[in-house]
Structure 1
């Protein structure tokens, strides 16, 4: 088929097969237009082919994305700064690039965790960074202390048993988040705060609304894990961030409106740097958020027989909350409420304990807990029973097998008759008649369906047998194992790629997504 390539004011015709890949097409463009890309250590220059408003990936075939004969592709030379390092996210399985210059290698680990948190949407208290040699990076150290150079790859790990929970938070699946919450109440409350933080960062409105109904507050900081709450003085600075701050930083206007509608006091919530949401929106240049927050702060609250500006109302509420905290601290309730650890809980101190953040799945954690719980819950017999059992074991004779005897043919027939009589006697039971006159046999607790003696031919229904369903289940499991994504996640991934073709109608985008899914299945076969 013939396609047209438009590059820097020139349009050339290319005669290519329909299954031609985009990567091979770029090589043909380089040879036809004599394109030379400069190789720089700090800047990466590359060719980009676009069609229908979407950038084409090198592994795609032209026919997979609906490119037919006579189509026109646009070719551009783009440049991007080369990332200084990469961070492999064990939760999503993706590699996050860290852009910047070599000067970033002299920054602190805490600063790097802040950058990774903004890219991934995870709070800093939900993950740790380490080198692939399993050397953990601590916040108080510099990157150069670990001899990390340009192009290095770090690893992001989360708490053991949290992988499925965080995957549900990143995708915005409320049922997945709910089913993977911890059994420990203190850890579960921390997980709910983490889930609201991620929902505010990635814009999952449904998940955020459900968490607010569960009692999670948008003006409450995420904090640290309960295992580390006795070391909160050395915690990362961003642990004091609230979901309302992350929603403003990420320019999630719908989430921001939801938080403020739920509680007006979130307008006065300050981050660890002392900035309220309006200052954060101005600092990041999010005009829609600035306009909405400014209108809210200039509005009026209707109180009984007296309208009051929002700024004065927020200031009065702040005074009341300070008075409540001071009164509680005088009664020694507020100080004790800040630490909710109990005797016997785990305590983690950096550099002294085995790390509990190795991204182990919840299934492995539950297996270990079940084994320990089964051993712990195993009841011991009383001492008298133990003595009697040991006495019986001492007197018990060794096991004796019956001797083999010859059996005559007549005896064998008699034993068969006896067995048939026993089975018939066992099956005999009370008979009950229904209103229609059908006889129902009741044997014990089980009821058999009525027996019909009509010789009426019944229609045949062709349906899926159990064997076919087993084959389908095995196919889906093998697909998930080789692809790394479930069929549903793969469908969402292909639909998100197809939605980038903004110049195509919706039905055309849907056909592109179907073609990509079919290609994934054929490539695995």
Structure 2
């Protein structure tokens, strides 16, 4: 009888068990089948076409794959806030600056114009990069370059004609270094380009370098460097490519000592930049009340001592008022 059973005369082997011996059920096995986790047609799983529970399907009929990540990133960029903050790193010095009120549709040129004021580097010397990209194109938008809120923009100085050395010396504010970098007409400093200049071109070149040094030193608040440059011919009426003077950036940063020096050497508080802003309006916009008051005070004093007190502060005397009072006494 036992031999007949062993030969398979009356018993059916469980499906899927090799060698005829039934597989022991693990505790997870029945629960997995109860959840419908086995594939259709597999031993113990629901049959094809049955109404067993199915795993959630992704839209489009396939599960998420690594190739879908760029699409997810692009969707997140479309959902960025309308106004956000960027950080800008001046690579040559390691300084970090915060730029507010940035927008996705803001062009790189507009950002550079703002950095002209925030970082104190003239527009034409700026070279911007983001992540591993090359130089950002002026006419492209921040959204085009995939710039995200809170991202870090790299600002580099164009490495030609000795401008990098001049910017570093002006940021440091050392007059002895500036004196050796072609900011005066009697300087012996030469570059591969400037050594071929005639007298007229040489004067124009040194005047431009003196203005850039004055612009940056005023932005950083180096009063000693500002005084040295002004005393050696630097023009406080010079303007950056966006129409800003050294007084604009000094007022924007609240550099009271530099404001005093610039105004004493003839700087005008009424000069407007390309956007129509004066040093006073910039100080007001950036909430530097001390800068605004100092510029206003110096302009007021420059009108003469008779104008220090406005005429409307005193009422106009009536005719005969003085003689009537004198007759009564």
TM-score computed with the length of structure 1 as normaliser: 0.35
Deviations 1:321-376 (A, max 9, x none): xxxxxxxxxxxxxxxxxxxxxxxxxxxxxxxxxxxxxxxxxxxxxxxxxxxxxxxx
Partner residue in 1 for 2:233: 215
Given that 1:91 and 1:166 are in contact with CA atoms closer than 8 Å, whether structure 2 keeps it comes out as no
Distance across 2 between alignment mates of 1:177 and 1:217? 15
Q: CA deviation at 1:133?
A: 3.8
Q: State the shift of 1:129 in Å.
A: 0.6
**Partner in structure 2 of residue 87 of structure 1:** 88
Conservation of the 8 A alpha-carbon contact between 2:218 and 2:226: yes
* Aligned counterpart in structure 2 of residue 194 of structure 1, from 212, 234, 238: 212
SS at match of 1:154: strand
* Partner Cα separation in structure 2 for residue 91 and residue 215 of structure 1: 27
Matched residue SS, 1:141: coil
Partner of 1:249: 252
The 5 A counterparts of 1:378-393 are none
Question: Number of residue pairs matched?
Answer: 207
* Superposition pairs of residues 268-307 of structure 1, within 5 angstroms: 268-299=270-301, 301=303
Following superposition of structure 1 onto structure 2, how do residues 79-118 of structure 1 map, counting pairs within 5 Å?
Answer: 85-96=86-97, 98=99, 104-118=103-117
Aligned to 1:464: none
Aligned-partner Cα distance in 2 for 1:88–1:287: 27
Could you say which structure has the larger radius of gyration?
A: 2
Partner of 1:76: none
Please report the TM-score for the alignment, with normalisation by the length of structure 2.
0.54
Alignment of 1:391-410 (within 5 A): none
**Alpha-carbon separation, structure 1, partners of 2:250 and 2:293:** 15
- In structure 2, relative to structure 1, the CA distance for the partners of 1:119 and 1:301 (3 Å cut) is closer
State how far apart, in whole Å, the 2-side matches of 1:294 and 1:129 are: 36
Map 1:113-512; keep pairs closer than 5 Å: 113-133=112-132, 135-150=134-149, 152-160=151-159, 161-181=162-182, 183=190, 184=194, 185=202, 186-223=204-241, 239-263=242-266, 266-299=268-301, 301=303
| Residues 274-308 of structure 1 deviation map (CA, whole Å, 9 limit, x = unaligned) | 33333333333322223233333434645xxxx87
Partner SS, residue 87 of structure 1: strand
1:456-479 per-residue CA deviation (whole Å, 9 max, x = no partner) reads xxxxxxxxxxxxxxxxxxxxxxxx
Cα deviation for residue 193 of structure 1 reads 1.0
**How far 1:98 sits from its partner (Å)?**
4.7
Deviation, 1:256, is: 0.9
Following the alignment from structure 1 to structure 2, what is the Cα–Cα distance between the partners of residues 98 and 150? 11
CA RMSD of aligned residues (A): 3.0
Cα displacement (A) at 1:142? 0.8
Q: Which has the higher contact order (CA 8 A, sep 6+)?
A: 1
Paired residues of 2:128 and 2:155 also in contact (CA < 8 A): yes
**Any unmatched runs of 5+ in structure 2?**
1-75, 77-83, 183-188, 195-201, 309-329
Higher helix share: 1
Closer, same or farther in 2 for the Cα pair 1:151/1:272, shift >3 Å? closer
